Structure formats: structure tokens, C-alpha cells
Amino acid sequence: MKNVEKSRQKYTESQNYLAGGVASSLRSAMKPTPLFASAGSGPRIWDVDGNAYIDYLLGYGPLILGHAHEATLVSVFEAMKRGITYGLQHEGEIELARQLTEVLPCADKVALSGSGTEAVMLALRLARAYTGKRKIVRFHGHYHGWSDTIFTAFPSSDMRQSSSGGAGDAQEQHIVPGTSGQSELALEDIILLPWNDSAVLDAALREHGHDIAAVISEPVMCNSGCVLPKPGYLEQMRELTEELGIVMILDEVITGFRLGLSGAHGKFGLKPDLVTIGKALGGGIAVSAVAGSQAIMALIENGTVSHLGTLNGNGVATSAALATIAELSKNEGAVYAKMENNAAQLVEGIRSLLVKHSIPGILNHIGPVFHMMFTLETQVEDFASFMKRDAAKYAEFAGKMLEEGVLVRSNGLWYLSAVHEEREIEETLAAVDRALANL
């Protein structure tokens, strides 16, 4: 067993001062104890007990260039020497906004914020103001941050049985707030639908379209199984929303910059009205953006919609994002090709190891992100089939991987960075082999 005694002690100490002992609730679930990091470099991270891990958590996604990426550090440090934040405008904001409008196909204009949650809040507000309508369609298993008007609990056992029948079934799904303390009224305007079901989408939008301001969707259901949209599904969403005067928001907080500089919507050739991006945009520094059509973003320009935030567009955030874009743009996408190759090698390798150990499992994969699940299903193609995975067994596997010196998220989602090399992939596959043998 790895010695994580110092992490244990620090977690106990932390609970005396930091509510819950962690800064984001999800982190307390880590077994055997929430680890305390001492340093990260490239694709590796160290804990306070001196254990080293190859990192596939990558800060829950942002570290697309790995830890402490040199060019980002230099860019941020140079910016900080000229002042950390001004509360005035500066050229970095123009440059970042300009570059985002160049790389994101749907972007005529952008607005900058600090987190994915805030970007989604702004996108929903814009949609309501633009349409003059109230309701928001969102989908089971998608996550859009923790603000009151969108945060719903993942349904538990009842969803496991649900097939995604007609729109009627979908409407019967009880919407549960994501947390205590959240006004139930805040979710009154949410219509929660199963994702990847064309018939349900068509029926629900046609029935309630006159009340619906926006449909918000992850373009790939990264938060629940890395499930790809069925062929034509997002196109259908685009056509229906256009026809019915509904704003289509793609939440690209995970996929933005991860599937390519143009995000999933660029990759899939879609033009949503708005996208939200965060995580990889700042390479680990807090920055997010809403990007979209001139007609909608004009509501910010003409003062109809307020967009506020003390630290919005600060120089640290903009310089980090600019450095990230510069790095990811090098050699015409070579960075993405490398990440994708490494991910494919890892995915294929793990699939073979599952066969070798006779453990039924599925890896859903797109670009440098994949989800590994232990399941008897032959495919995980919606939230209902995702819920049939053996989550406890995977959490046990994640624990064994830690023992082997590989940090993976306990829910099964893996991220690769531009600095994971052949060596890390080989070490990881050897670790997976041993961890599966010990399950």
C-alpha cells in the first residue's frame, strides 16, 4: 500500500478550517483519502507523501498542456509583472476575444468570465432575454455547473430502468435540485429530457416550443460516459431550435479546445447560437467565455443584458488563454494529432487488457478524452445505459491505479494532455494490466 499518511493528516487538519476539508465538494469522495498535491510537472503530479503519479485527472480537465507548462508560466508571469488586474480595459482582452472569434465558428462576439458555471449563467440569461421566453431544455446526465437555475441531481435507481420512450415519459421525470439550499422554484423552468433521442426531442420542442428560450446540451455527453451524439441528432437540434425560435446553446466547457481549437461544434460542422467554453481555455487559470452570434451578443452591447464580474478578463486569465491558444495552434494541429494518437493507443490497449482479464467493459472515446466503464452492456449510448455500469467496481479500480502510480478520476473519465508521451502510455498500460489482475 502506498503511504498517504501525510495526506490523511492534512485532510484532518484541513477540516478544522476549510468547510468540508476540500474546496470543491466532489473532491472529498477520493479514496483512500483526498490526496494533497505538492507539485505537478508535465504529465505527472506528486502528493505530500512523495508519491508520484501519471496524471489523467489533469485538474478535472483544464491542464491540456500538462502541469506548469513553461510558455504559459512565462506568459502569465510577464503579464503579472505589468499588474495582475486593472478594472480597466487592456489589450489582452481584445486579443483573446479576437482570436476566439477566429477559431470558434459560431463566434461573432465573445464575453469573458471566470468559470464554466458563470459562462452557462450568462448564456441562459442571454437566451431568455433574446427570446422573451422562460423555459430551458436540458438533458439527463449532462452537467452545466452548480448555479441554482440549472443544477439538477443525477437521478439514481429509477433512471436505470427508464427506456427513453416518448416525450410523455420524459416529462414525468422528477426534477430534483442538485443540492439542499437550492430553491426548487429556480428549477421550475427546466424541462429535463433524455439525450440522444430524436423522437423525444422533436415531441418536447414542438409541444413546448412557444415557452422554450433555450436548449442547452453538451455536444458530447462527457459528464456521463463520453457518449457521442447519434448521427443527425445535434443537426436535428439545430433545425428544430431554428424553426421554433429557440436558442441552441452547446456547453463546450469540456469539449472546447479539447477536441480542437474550434471545439466540438467546429469538429461536427455545427453552428449553435451560443457556446460556453472554460477548462482547457485557460490551461489551469480561471477563465471562461460565452461566444455566439452578433444578434444575441448585441444584448450585452446595448445594455439589455448585464454581464458582470470584478475579475472578468483580467490579465492573468487572458495571458494564460493566449499562451494556450498559441501552443495548441503550433504546427497546424500537430498537438491534437499527438494527443489523439496517444488516447487511441491507450484506449485500444485498455480494451485488449479487459479482454485478457475477461472483464466486460466499454471505453467511449473522442479525441483526447475517454470514459472507461465496467458494464455488461454492449454499448453505452445514452444516460440510461450509462447508469447500468458498475460504478463501485470502477472506483475500486481507480484506487488500484493510484497504488500503481496513476491518477485517474474515480468516475471513469480520462483526459490526456499534450505532454503525455509514449513512455507514460506504456507505463499506464502496464499499470492497468496489474490493476485489472488485482480487481
- Binding residues (CB under 6 A) for ligand PMP: these are 115-117, 120, 143-145, 218, 223, 251, 253-254, 278
What are residue 107's phi and psi, to 5 degrees?
-95, 110
For the sheet containing 288-292, what is the strand order? Answer: 109-113, 288-292, 274-277, 247-252, 212-217, 135-139, 190-193
Contact 390, 398 (CB under 8 A): no
Q: Report the distance separating Cα 287 and Cα 281, nearest Å.
A: 7
Least separation, in Å, of the C-beta of 431 and ligand PMP?
25
**What DSSP string runs through 342-367?**
HHHHHHHHHHHHHHHTT--EEEEEET
Least separation, in Å, of the C-beta of 283 and ligand PMP?
13
Amino acid at 303: G
Least separation, in Å, of the C-beta of 143 and ligand PMP?
5
Contact 407, 57 (CB under 8 A): yes
Least separation, in Å, of the C-beta of 308 and ligand PMP?
16
What are residue 137's phi and psi, to 5 degrees?
-90, 125
Bridge partners of 137, per DSSP, are: 191, 215
Grid-cell match 498537438, residue found: 335
**Nearer to ligand PMP among residue 218 and residue 273 (C-beta):** 218
**Nearer to ligand PMP among residue 209 and residue 266 (C-beta):** 266
**Nearer to ligand PMP among residue 107 and residue 264 (C-beta):** 264
**Nearer to ligand PMP among residue 75 and residue 117 (C-beta):** 117
**Nearer to ligand PMP among residue 263 and residue 349 (C-beta):** 263
**What DSSP string runs through 298-351?**
HHHHTTSS----TTTT-HHHHHHHHHHHHHHHGGGGHHHHHHHHHHHHHHHHHH
**Nearer to ligand PMP among residue 54 and residue 121 (C-beta):** 121
Least separation, in Å, of the C-beta of 226 and ligand PMP?
12
**Nearer to ligand PMP among residue 135 and residue 409 (C-beta):** 409
Find the residue with minimal CB distance to ligand PMP: 116
Least separation, in Å, of the C-beta of 115 and ligand PMP?
4
**Residues 238, 239, 245, 251, Cα dihedral to 10°:** -10
Least separation, in Å, of the C-beta of 339 and ligand PMP?
18
Least separation, in Å, of the C-beta of 412 and ligand PMP?
14
What are residue 345's phi and psi, to 5 degrees?
-65, -40
Picking from 236, 270, 232, the residue whose alpha carbon sits closest to that of residue 250 is 270
**Nearer to ligand PMP among residue 144 and residue 265 (C-beta):** 144
